[in-house]
Chain A
Amino acid sequence: MALHPRAASVPAGTPTKITQGSQTRGGIGESTLRPDGTLKVTGEFAYSSDMWHEDMLWGHTLRSTVAHAEIRSIDIGEALATPGVYAVLTYDDLPAEMKNYGLEIQDTPVLAHGKVRHHGEPVALVAADHPETARRAAAKIRIDYAELPLVTDEESATAPDAILVHEGRTDHHIGHVPHPNIVHRQPIVRGDADAAAARADVIVTGDYVFGMQDQAFLGPESGLAVPSEDGGVELYVATQWLHSDLRQIAPVLGLPEDKVRMTLSGVGGAFGGREDLSMQIHACLLALRTGKPVKMVYNRFESFFGHVHRHPAKLHYEHGATKDGKLTHMKCRIVLDGGAYASASPAVVGNASSLAVGPYVVEDVDIEAIALYSNNPPCGAMRGFGAVQACFAYEAQMDKLAAALDMDPVELRQLNAMEQGTLLPTGQPVDSPAPVAELLRRVKARPLPPEQQWLSADAEGSSVDVRALPGGLSNTTHGEGVVRGVGYAVGLKNVGFSEGFDDYSTARVRMEVINGEPVATVHTAMAEVGQGGVTVHAQIARTELGVNQVTIHPADTQVGSAGSTSASRQTYVTGGAVKNSCEAVREQVLEIGRRKFGTYHPAWATAELLLEGGKVVTDGGEVLAPLADVLEGEAVDVELEWRHRPTEAFDLRTGQGNGHVQYSFAAHRAVVEVDTELGLVKVIELACAQDVGKALNPLSVVGQIQGGTTQGLGVAVMEEIIVDPKTAKVRNPSFTDYLIPTILDTPTIPVDVLELADDHAPYGLRGIGEAPTLSSTPAVLAAIRNATGLELNRTPVRPEHITGT
């Protein structure tokens, strides 16, 4: 029998016990502490990269050094002969008929076959007894590449003589795309935009560019594959969706799904970058080939090639308005670069197009969004998913329109703000509160931070605190050239998987008596990636089952799918599943109570009964029995799937359809200080107001909003993967040159939380994780424009753009 992996402290597979004191119920609405919080801040938390197994080997991936080439030959002889090397695998070693994987389209080769399509594509695998041996052996593999012409943008993708990134496509999008180098196209047409344009007093157009952002999660891709005696494999891995991985892994290994047993190990952030597979299949292949456990850990450099990024985008927008500021029409065309493989591109197109108008009422729209196949790095899911790029552009347009109308930009937005009942361009009504105007009002009503906060007067004269200035400790200004700017933005994000996807989750809840105490165990396959889902599940179980002690079972594939930890959906969907299973458990517990004690008190038969404080009580508060007595000698165990309301696909021609489950709204006000001479920016405040429906854990809600806000700030002023247009190679795959905000770049983020219930959702909650990432970026850009008077149609803004150098 295979040993369980061992790790520094809490190993993968150890249940997390969350006990609250008797005073604190720890149910929903309380800011209960997260079980992983202390471990993470003290460095004790065991991440997937910390796993260790006796006798394990280390896997290494050899990746392409060019972006587009034919592979003429691969010579593994010298690598295989290296002492300490146990296996070298290439495409020819793949054991099953299925040799590709993919979230929606299985277009991604497990190992390159005859061709590489992007810089950093996996070509060969090495297993050795030491990671450095594996790395050096991989360097001895000789690959003869014959370089091919590159597809790098729309022009080169759709030129008459364009080389096809994927020949012979048979996927379900090929029938409706205008060119085989376009993954998916989604038009959305409503009303008559051309006719409406004739009514406009003012028309503004703009071309916008959104750079390639990386998720930059801190825990690199890693996992451990352990071969098992039945010919299967146990895989411990950091991922966002165990069952989606499983569905892609098993066919390539030639194994039935029940022989690939997956357990979630410690995840160090995800933000969409773990929706696609990375080392999962590779480690399993090496483990099955060598018969030994194989660990793989990417370093930071490799991590930049090991996951998809946010789609860079080019967006053309046209808005019209009457002279009193009412929007007449909107036309736009959004070109997303999906890179070499499809990943989540089709769904990103669906979001970008269906949310292209933003949270505004526009009757007449003409929208088109496409995603390209190219030889750039593959792009897919990242926090905000298509809605981010659109929001950057439509919010810039709203400011431009306000300027053209000589109106206040917030008033213009409020005048056109969507409300409950508004129809989206897809024809779908917004059937829950949509407090867009109110969110804007709240951020605008906040007092502005004081001017010149870097100056303080003391007895010896005035002094300068450079930390409050652009450039910070780099000491570039003491106030010279510094101009303040203020900008606003608001965004609209869908929650959950859209377009008819069967977006269910599964929860298994068990209730029993342990040491005289009623205990609930919650078992789901939900990936805890830092969002706090495990905290919330325990809160839900306490609220529904009236127990103090809740055990969260490790996430694995021994229970049904929980769906992805993405699309702001887990508290809604897996939270909903836990609630639903708890309700079923409660009914069974009450049934047992009636059977055991029903004859002692008439209320067992007549009253509405609740589980509270470890007891069965009537809705009038009368105690009927302790749960410990009811469950004595019994255990209740329920596993149920739970679904939110179904959605529909968008019509491929008109984009009409009830495609979305729920919406999430956030607004930001950014206050920046810009050193206009050096082009450096200090964001000093990013106030946010967001409607969360119901804050299940208020502290976690604020944390999510602040995190999303900061990630949006990052792509406003620094974060970008730079791809050389001549070679399609990544130029900055490290944290030396891919910069993410430090605490000195992170402003004060006051958060105003609204709780307007969505009656369709459990507890009225809304998914919250992504919305703040949308409006943060355009608010910062608007503030920089306000400070500089520059147009700045591209994000991130670099000093060169502000200084014109």
Chain B
Amino acid sequence: MDFLRPASWEEALAAKAEHPTAVPIAGGTDVMVEINFDHRRPEYLMDLNRIGELSEWQVGPDAVRLGASVPYSAVMEHLRAELPGLALASHTVASPQIRNRGGVGGNLGTASPAGDAHPALLAAGAEVEAASVRGTRMIPIDDFYTGVKRNALAPDELIRAVHIKKADGPQQYSKVGTRNAMVIAVCAFGLALHPETRTVRTGIGSAAPTPVRAREAEEFLNAALEEGGFWESGKIITPSVAKQFAQLAAGACNPIDDVRGTAAYRRHAVGIMARRTLGWTWEQYRGAGRTLEGAA
């Protein structure tokens, strides 16, 4: 195994063009596990830790440009206001040590359906900044996940950053695991209210071959909120609406039975989380929300 250590982003792109099988590594919280388990033996490992800009972020007028290597702990500490859903998701990632190393770029690169960041990115709305010697392109998050642990990156591309829309309304994130901390998702759900566009976006983790949005649920809810004048009135969402939203969210799942949980449970739990996160965000939207200690 060859170990590449590019000193700059340009060097990294050149190296990736020359060695398209090179596996980029930053925090190493996914890649090293794979190597330790001997699940993969990459020909080349490309260490991105010398490229400082990957650990930086910029807050723009509409979006946060989050460097691929920004650790989850930094999101929790510095970006709670701009990216509340991702900050909540970051809290559920593994242990403090892992949160200090791992970042969203790795989650996207691995593209595991169980990656904790994905539902939050899907709900918030995001674009992945992918670059190669051929140039830079922005991949909408909705098009990024292409299969189980597969993504839309070309072999010569690297993830430089992810551009995540700044929250224009309340966001929530829930994850079910069979332990109260440091656990891989059995399933997860992210929800973001977007009052500016009067839309709701969702993200489901670990309940389908890829992270997915519950589009039918979103469409149903968008229509129901619009028709009922809920955005203006801020009145409590009718239980039957919340219930149907939850059912449609559960219906968006295409889960499997595995050692972590059954398909039936995953569907059931996504429905519960959809109903609860809708309730919490809507309460917050109405101005009656509770703050969360420990969670954000």
The chain A residue sitting closest to B88, CB to CB, is A475
The CA of A465 and the CA of B176, in the complex, are separated in Å by: 17
Residue of B nearest to A467 (CB): B294
Per-residue contact bits, chain B 82-98, to A (CB 8 Å; 1 contact, 0 not): 00000010011000000
- Shortest distance between the CB of B247 and any CB in chain A (Å): 14
Q: How far is the CA of A301 from the CA of B37 in the complex (A)?
A: 8
B145 within 8 A of A: no
Q: A478 near B: Cβ within 8 Å? A: yes
Asked if A736 and B181 make an inter-chain contact with CB atoms under 8 angstroms apart, the answer reads: no
Is A678's beta carbon under 8 Å from chain B? yes
CB 8 Å contact bits of A646-682 with B (1 = contact, 0 = none): 0000000000000000000000000000000111101
Residues of B within 8 A of A677 (CB): 272
Task: Tell me the complex Cα distance, A678–B184, Å.
Answer: 16
Once the chains are docked, how many angstroms separate the CA of A679 from the CA of B269? Answer: 9
B50 within 8 A of A: no
| Contact between A744 and B175, CB atoms less than 8 A apart | no
Q: How many residues of B are in contact with the other chain, CB < 8 A?
A: 40
Among the listed stretches B121-129, B228-236, B260-268, which one makes contact with chain A, having 4 or more residues with CB under 8 Å of it? B260-268
Complex contacts, B240 vs chain A, CB 8 Å: none
Report if A460 contacts B (CB, 8 A).
yes
> Are A682 and B290 in contact, with the CB atoms below 8 A?
no
A287-295, A402-410, A422-430, A795-803 - interface stretch = A795-803
Q: In this assembly, does A473 line the interface, its C-beta being within 8 Å of a C-beta of chain B?
A: yes
Residues of A within 8 Å of B178, CB to CB, are 680, 717-718, 739, 798-799
Interface positions of A from 692 to 747, Cβ below 8 Å from B: 717-718, 722, 731-732, 734, 736-737, 739, 741-745
Return A65 CB to nearest CB of chain B, in Å: 13
Q: Is the CB of A475 within 8 A of B175?
A: yes
Given A466-B295, A474-B92: A680 touches B184 (CB 8 Å cut-off): no
Chain B contacts for A456, CB-based, 8 A? 293
Interface residues of B in 152-172 (CB under 8 A from A): 172
Cβ contact within 8 Å between B36 and A474: no
Contacts A474-B92, A474-B176, A480-B276 given; does A799 touch B293 at CB 8 Å: no
Which residue on chain B has the smallest CB distance to residue A474?
A: B175
Complex Cα distance A456/B294, Å?
Answer: 12
A462 interface residue (CB < 8 Å to B): yes
Instruction: Give Cα A796–Cα B272 distance, bound, in whole angstroms.
Output: 23
Which residues of A have CB within 8 Å of B184? 736-737
Q: Do the beta carbons of B293 and A463 come within 8 Å of each other?
A: yes
B-contact 0/1 string along A467-483, CB 8 Å cutoff: 10011111111101100
Say yes or no: A744 contacts B181, CB within 8 Å.
yes
State how many angstroms separate the Cβ of B129 from the closest Cβ of chain A. 28
Q: Which residue of A lies closest to B268 (CB)?
A: A805
B32 within 8 A of A: no
Question: Does A168 sit within 8 A of B, measured CB to CB?
Answer: no
A604 to B276, CA, bound (A): 82
Q: Is the CB of A745 within 8 A of B181?
A: yes
Chain A contacts for B175, CB-based, 8 A: 471, 474-476
Chain A residues, CB < 8 A from B273: 476, 678
Tell me the nearest residue of chain A to B280, going by C-beta: A478
A568 CB to closest chain B CB (Å) equals 28
A800 is contacted by which of B37, B261, B276, B279 (Cβ under 8 Å)? B261
Q: Hey, which chain A residues are within 8 Å of B181, CB to CB?
A: 472-474, 742-745
Chain A interface residue number, banded = 35 or more
> A677-B272, A732-B259 are known contacts. Are A474 and B183 too (CB-CB below 8 A)?
yes
Task: Find out whether the CB atom of B291 lies under 8 angstroms from the CB atom of A460.
Answer: yes
Are B292 and A679 in touch, CB under 8 angstroms? no
Establish whether residues A800 and B265, one from each chain, have CB atoms under 8 Å apart when the complex forms: yes
Contact B259–A475 (Cβ < 8 Å): no
CB contact under 8 A between A475 and B261, given known A718-B178, A799-B176: no
Q: Across the interface, do A678 and B176 meet the contact criterion of CB distance under 8 Å?
A: yes
- Selected from B91, B182, B265, B272, the residue in CB contact (under 8 A) with A475 is B91
Cβ of A464 under 8 Å from chain B: yes
Give the chain B neighbours of A476 by CB distance below 8 A.
Answer: 174-176, 273, 276
Residues of A within 8 A of B295 (CB): 464, 466, 473, 475
Instruction: Please judge, given known A-B contacts A299-B36, A466-B295, A736-B184, whether A471 and B176 are in contact too, CB under 8 Å.
Output: yes
B245 in contact (CB, < 8 A): no
Nearest-CB residue, chain B, relative to A301: B37
Asked whether B183 lies within 8 Å of A739 as measured between CB atoms, the reply is yes
**Given A474-B180, A718-B178, A741-B179: A799 and B38 interface contact (C-beta under 8 Å):** no
With most chain B CB atoms within 10 A of its CB, the pick from A460, A466, A481, A798 is A466
Residue of A460, A473, A474, A737 contacting most chain B CB atoms (<10 Å): A474
Bound form: Cα–Cα A299–B179 in Å: 23
Kindly state the separation between the CA atoms of A478 and B290 in the bound complex, as whole angstroms. Answer: 9
Q: How far is the CB of B36 from chain A (nearest CB, A)?
A: 7
Query: A741 vs B291: C-alpha distance in the bound complex, in angstroms?
Result: 27
Q: Does A231 contact B (CB under 8 A)?
A: no
Question: B268, A475: Cβ atoms under 8 Å?
Answer: no
- Closest Cβ of chain A to B172, distance in Å, is 7
Q: Is A135 in the interface zone, CB < 8 Å from B?
A: yes
Q: Does B282 count as interface, using CB distance less than 8 angstroms?
A: no
Does A620 make an interface contact (CB < 8 A)? no
C-beta contact mask, A784-805 vs B, less than 8 Å → 1, else 0?
0000000000000011100101
A462 touches B290 (CB 8 A): yes
Question: Given A456-B293, A463-B291, A474-B92, is A800 in contact with B180 using a C-beta cutoff of 8 Å?
Answer: no
Measured CB to CB, the nearest residue on chain A to B288 is A461
For residue B177, CB closer than 8 A to chain A, the reply is yes
Question: Is the C-beta of B31 less than 8 angstroms from some C-beta in chain A?
Answer: no
- Measured CB to CB, the closest approach of chain A to B34, in angstroms, equals 12
Residues in A whose Cβ lies below 8 Å from that of B46: none
CA distance in complex: A800, B269 (Å): 10
List residues of chain A with CB within 8 A of the CB of B172: 475
**Interface membership of B173, Cβ < 8 A:** yes
Closest Cβ neighbor of B264 among chain A residues? A805
Bound CA–CA A743/B294 (angstroms): 14
Closest B residue, CB atoms, query A472: B180
In the complex, the answer to whether B180 meets A742 with C-beta atoms within 8 Å is: yes
Give Cα distance in the complex from A477 to B290, angstroms. 13
Which residues of chain A come closer than 8 Å to B276, judged between CB atoms?
476-478, 480
Q: How far is the CA of A462 from the CA of B290 in the complex (A)?
A: 6
A677 to B92, CA, bound (A): 20
Residue interface bits B232-266, CB-to-A below 8 A is 1, else 0: 00000000000000000000000000011110110
- A475 contacts which chain B residues (CB < 8 A)? 88, 91-92, 172-175, 292, 295
Instruction: A473 to B273: give the CA distance in the assembly, Å.
Output: 14
Please name all residues of chain B whose beta carbon is closer than 8 Å to the beta carbon of A473 when the two chains form the complex: 91-92, 180-181, 294-295
Residue of B nearest to A740 (CB): B179
Q: Which residues of chain A are near B177, meaning CB under 8 Å?
A: 471, 474
B172-203 interface mask toward A, CB cutoff 8 Å, 1 = contact, 0 = none? 11111111111110100000000000000000
Contact partners of B292 in chain A: CB under 8 A: 463-466, 475, 478
Contact check: which of A463, A678, A732 meets B272 at CB < 8 Å? A678
Nearest to A135 among chain B residues (CB) is B38
Complex Cα distance, B119 from A474, in Å, reads 13
- In the bound complex, residues from chain B placing their C-beta under 8 Å from that of A135 are 38
Partner of A731, one of B259, B265, B280, B290: B259
The minimal Cβ–Cβ distance linking B230 to chain A, given in whole angstroms, is 21
Q: With a CB–CB cut-off of 8 A, which chain A residues contact B180? A: 467, 470-474, 680, 682, 742, 744-745
Other A-B pairs beyond A475-B174, A742-B182, 13, CB < 8 Å: A135-B38, A456-B293, A460-B291, A462-B290, A464-B293, A473-B295, A474-B180, A474-B183, A475-B88, A478-B276, A478-B280, A741-B179, A805-B268
Interface residues of B (CB under 8 A from A): 36-38, 88, 91-92, 172-184, 186, 259-262, 264-265, 267-269, 272-273, 276, 279-280, 290-295
List 20 A–B pairs whose Cβ atoms lie within 8 Å, in order of A's numbering: A460-B291, A463-B290, A463-B293, A464-B292, A464-B293, A467-B180, A473-B180, A473-B294, A473-B295, A475-B175, A476-B175, A478-B290, A478-B292, A680-B176, A680-B178, A680-B180, A799-B186, A799-B265, A803-B265, A805-B262
**9 shortest interchain CB distances as A-B pairs:** A472-B180, A805-B265, A744-B181, A805-B264, A474-B175, A744-B180, A465-B293, A467-B294, A805-B268
